[in-house]
Amino acid sequence: MSLPIKDILDHLHINDINHAFSTGNQWGSSANAVTKDIVSPTDGKKIATVKFATADEYNTVVETAAKAFKTWRTIPAPKRGEIVRQIGESLRANKKQLGTLVSYEMGKSLQEGYGEVQEMIDICDFAVGLSRQLYGLTMHSERPEHRMYEQYHPLGIIGVISAFNFPVAVWSWNAMLAWVCGDVCIWKPSEKTPLTAIACQHIAQEVFKRNNIDEGVSCLVIGDRNIGELMSNDTRVPLVSATGSTRMGKAVSAAVGARLGKSLLELGGNNAIILTENADLDMSLIGAVFGAVGTAGQRCTSTRRLIIHESVYEAFKQKLVKAYAQIKIGDPLDENNHMGPLIDQDAVALYLDSIEKCKAEGGKFVVEGGKLEGGAYSSGCYVKPCIAEVENHYKIVQHETFAPILYLIKYSTIEEAIDLQNGVPQGLSSAIMTNNLREAETFLSYAGSDCGIANVNIGTSGAEIGGAFGGEKETGGGRESGSDAWKVYMRRQTNTINYSKTLPLAQGIKFDL
């Protein structure tokens, strides 16, 4: 462990958790609040006990945020960007402590914990530049002496529901962009990883306070699915950005859609790498193994399926088996380990159940899975990464299992490989490994991958913040982070100015009085 956890908790102001919500300077909770022990999957030890907010407390947060929005939206966008720049600097100063806490609370490797905080820093940098580039368009009017243009205005309150696997980065993708756009944010983190969220709230709020912005721009509500349901049904929250399972996303979409609100959904993935006969096998091995084993297979972009050309299938399978034998599993705070635990014992049970379902459908395991127990694995959350030869149509293969189970599928033609790649309900990330230009361009064409992300000669896992992140089909269709994803946090308005002395009507309509 690079730093004692107690010192980290003290440094990040979360040693004693007495509050269920924060609107900035105001932290609070009811005397009879429901509590939850937060236990690290790394060692099974309790880190802290948190309190869950009530419906009344949630309402207090929304009211405070709504009031803050009226002031925050009047601050020029570049000045809002300056505050986000300062948040980025504070994250840089706290990267080691926050990254270590991400690793300890969630179970991902320490390098991945640091990497997640770096993503936050990167999106702050992106948002600072964006604060001077909230562009609209101008267009020529069909009427003389008229000018037409469009502009973007902030929406208001942005509700952010985040998942345990990226407990802080995904919030920052939303919050930093929303803030420079003039919105305010209410964050409901996963009930499995609330401590990192509390730490981020403290970091952000210190910056807001230094800039004499005390209340309501950055809000936090700790709770279970009840808080998510309140937010989804709340007409005061024009946009709900939700990251999680497809099942959860469908519930959010239905509730938000029923009130004609907006939702930004980042849901399940069932990501595949196509490995052609023209691939560099050694390079492909790195992408495949990290994609399948990184974060113990708990990324929405994790590699679930390897679709391998029949001519290199056996050779690459042997490379995989050899590589898996070298994977070190253990304490994620030990940088010598490649893979840490699953998030909790419920996740372990789902992993074991998926293995049995795969075997029942005919799957042949070339690297056996199973639960690791005793000694360093006493938390009960550690498992073995495993590999199975399957058919793409198996029900379990069509389903996303949030665990390190990798499925091998054989193909003969590139058209068949693309059909297999696309032949699942999800559509987040995809990749092809090839040195053949035609194969690469076919994969990226309209006849290729149907996913929101399609890569050539890199894996499915991970993404740079400069590009819009998200997927199609049951992945939800949302886009976060880079490119023009900022537009979802704003409302578009078309404006026409008549500077003539007459009032001509559009389409040449005559209306003489």
Tokens of 270: 């069932």
Per the residue annotation, which of 266, 439, 474, 480 is the catalytic one?
266
Tokens of 337: 């380990």
Write out the DSSP string of 289-351.
HHHHHGGGG-STT-EEEEEEETTTHHHHHHHHHHHHTT--BS-TTSTT-SB---SSHHHHHHH
Please tell me the distance from the alpha carbon of residue 279 to that of residue 295, in angstroms, as a whole number: 25
Per DSSP, the three-state class of 366 is strand
Tokens of 103: 């690793």
Which parts of 73-193 fold into alpha helices (H)?
Answer: 77-93, 95-106, 110-130, 169-181
Please tell me the distance from the alpha carbon of residue 311 to that of residue 275, in angstroms, as a whole number: 10
SS (H, E, C) 228-269: HHHHHCCCCCCEEEEECCHHHHHHHHHHHHHCCCEEEEECCC
Per the residue annotation, which of 124, 181, 200, 300 is the catalytic one?
300
Please tell me the distance from the alpha carbon of residue 12 to that of residue 333, in angstroms, as a whole number: 18
**For residue 156, which of 219, 93, 92, 79 has the smallest C-alpha distance?**
219
Paired with 263 in beta bridges are 240
Torsion over CA of 91, 92, 96 and 102, rounded to 10 degrees?
A: 30
Please tell me the distance from the alpha carbon of residue 324 to that of residue 475, in angstroms, as a whole number: 29
On the CB side of 31, CA atoms within 13 Å amount to 0
* Beta strands 138-140 and 146-154, pairing class: antiparallel
CB 166 within 8 A of CB 21: no
Q: Is 506 exposed, middle or buried (0-12, 13-18, 19+ CB in 10 A)?
A: exposed
Tokens of 129: 């530049």
Angle between helices 313-324 and 281-293 (to 10 degrees): 50
**Is 266 one of the catalytic residues?**
yes
Buried b / exposed e over 114-130, threshold 16 CB at 10 Å, is bbbbbbbbbbbebbbeb
Paired with 264 in beta bridges are 241
Please tell me the distance from the alpha carbon of residue 271 to that of residue 421, in angstroms, as a whole number: 8
Please tell me the distance from the alpha carbon of residue 5 to that of residue 288, in angstroms, as a whole number: 33
Enumerate the active-site residues.
Answer: 266, 300
